[in-house]
Structure 1
């Protein structure tokens, strides 16, 4: 759906960025080994770390409270950088993630949080972001992360190796929005255990989640 004032990056550009990430990861893997070799997604060597990254959460439960970008004890946080006006890549990624999470049992599902960080806070108010995520997940299952401070957003992206760019507005005020389209799985130590490129099969994501949860510490321990 075309949204006035916004044009999304093309899928081709997203796939080009994803291919680069895969190539870099393969090269890094040749220099060492990792216990997550059996995972379907991309594992970096060394892994990205986000333990010192936090952003305001606009979800109804948090109401602006700052949330660390890492899983709760024994759990995982799935982090995605995107924007609600995205016509293709973002809704596809969220729909795939919803399917992957539906394959978890109730105990596993309770240990997984979903966090979307908007890269277009000018248009994505907290209300807009909550409404968008509410189409894919139940209330209480997601964090709507939003900051109007470019420096905070840039630091969060840097920790994950992500990026975005807002194009120059044209005469009608429309502009391109390009962004990294990975989904990142962060454990309770703030370590990115795996990331999934755009259009990864939801079944493969689900397999990775089950694997990580099984090998992570017991949330009640």
Structure 2
């Protein structure tokens, strides 16, 4: 009888341990799902937890071109950069016109060319009159490799009015800070130091003639959606 109770005790212990592991696994799974949902709900325009209040800003990503306001977040500001012709350019050079702006880098294999092609399509869809009020702009987040000539060669593949801007690391850091842009270098294992990638935020910014942010368009928005939204926002 005593032996029987010992056996039953061992059985219940094993069953209890198994149930505990199942519950633990389920809790971990639920936690992972919540983390994924949280990551999908917010998009970092600058690195969270970086230790700098100046750049650590997390805002919700607009779900579509119909949800573009960012209450409480100041986006935009003064900058001094260099265009693809080697000329010094400041934010004041764009005063009086809307600016459709994208931050990326010329060595970008996918998102940047896709978004700049979309920007070109948006300009076409806007029609001549409204497109004339908008200046498309590309700003490099990789000044180490993107000198003016490299930027010139790159922007020549897209809209014929696209202006490409680069600058010193200090200048790029300043404009990234003003526009709440996140970017970081990713070293490629087994490659030389010059063959690196850049992680970066991928919003298209619509800025007003006085330099205020009008809208942010996430990469998932189509050219048609962006163009339609811009038509309702710009004033001729």
Alpha-carbon offset, residue 21 of structure 1: 3.0
Structure 1 distance, partners of 2:93, 2:229, is: 17
Compute the TM-score of the two structures, normalised by the length of structure 1: 0.72
Task: Answer yes or no: is the 8 Å Cα contact 2:77–2:178 preserved in 1.
Answer: no
1:157-168 equivalence runs, <5 A: 157-168=176-187
Cα 1:18–1:124 shift into 2, 3 Å: farther
Structure 1 distance, partners of 2:186, 2:43, is: 22
Bigger RCO of structures 1 and 2 (CA < 8 A, at least 6 apart)? 1
Alpha-carbon offset, residue 118 of structure 1: 0.8
Alpha-carbon offset, residue 67 of structure 1: 2.6
Listed one character per residue, the Cα deviations across residues 110-135 of structure 1 (whole Å, up to 9, x for unaligned) are 11111111111222221221221111
Is 1:40 matched up with 2:66?
A: yes
Q: Which residue does 2:123 correspond to in 1?
A: 101
| Residues matched between the structures, number | 183
Listed one character per residue, the Cα deviations across residues 155-195 of structure 1 (whole Å, up to 9, x for unaligned) are 21111111100124644213231011111111122111111
**Which of 198, 203, 213 is 2:224 aligned to?**
203
Q: Which runs of 5+ in 1 are unaligned?
A: 1-15, 30-37
Q: Which residue does 1:122 correspond to in 2?
A: 144
Name whichever of 42-51 and 181-190 sits farther off: 42-51
Cα 1:17–1:53 shift into 2, 3 Å: farther
Cα 1:70–1:41 shift into 2, 3 Å: farther
The SS at the match of 2:136 is: strand
Is 1:68 matched up with 2:91?
A: yes
Larger Rg over CA atoms: 2
Q: Which runs of 5+ in 2 are unaligned?
A: 1-37, 45-57
**Which of 162, 165, 168 is 1:145 aligned to?**
165
Compute the TM-score of the two structures, normalised by the length of structure 2: 0.68
Q: List 4+ stretches of structure 1 deviating above 4 A.
A: 16-19
Q: CA RMSD in A?
A: 2.7
